Copies of this chain bind each other. A is one copy, B any other.
Amino acid sequence: MAEMSKAEIAKFLMQGTFTGKLATVKKDGSSHVVPIWFVLDNENNRHKVGNIIFTTGESSTKANNIRQDNRVSICVDDQVPPFSFVTIFGIAKIYPYKRKEVLKWATKIAERYMGKSNAEAYGRRNSEESSIIVRIKPTKIIGENKIVGWD
């Protein structure tokens, strides 16, 4: 097992179409985990993680959970050997709807996951009035180049 550097972590998080698995806590105190599409807001310095941005429906379970408790964690992993992974703990902030902002991020995110040619259509679709931006500011970051089952 080898710890990743911050630059390796930033690169890993933006590798191809790796999704984030966002874990939140439900009202009853149990966990909830679903995949998300995301990008990093780190244009000033691509060697740092910066903030994690994703969009979601304003009444999605994850949005409701975040309103209840804004402490979240996200796992991104490679599903082939050596099964490297990153887990980020952070504080999530939900932004009030502003079409221009949502459209900007939804399009960036769509480009990552569905390609340049689909970005505009997906970006538009995912920036409707029921969509919100969530920004996660990391408080703790773990990154390991490792065999995940080997401990």
A57 contacts across to B, CB distance below 8 A: 151
Tally of A interface residues using CB under 8 Å:
47
A109 contacts partner chain B, Cβ-Cβ < 8 Å = yes
Contact with B along A1-34 (1 / 0, CB 8 A): 0000000000000001111011111000111111
Q: Is A80's CB under 8 angstroms from B17's CB?
A: yes
Contact of A37 among B16, B18, B87, B149 (CB under 8 A): B149
Interchain nearest-CB distance for A21 vs B (Å): 4
Q: Which 8 A-B pairs have the closest CB atoms?
A: A23-B23, A37-B149, A23-B33, A23-B31, A30-B71, A21-B21, A33-B75, A35-B77
How many copies of this chain are found per oligomer?
2
Sample 7 A-B pairs with CB under 8 A, ordered by A number: A25-B30, A30-B89, A31-B33, A32-B89, A35-B83, A37-B148, A114-B147
Contact with B along A25-69 (1 / 0, CB 8 A): 100011111111100000000000000000101001000000001
Interchain nearest-CB distance for A2 vs B (Å): 16
Interchain nearest-CB distance for A63 vs B (Å): 12
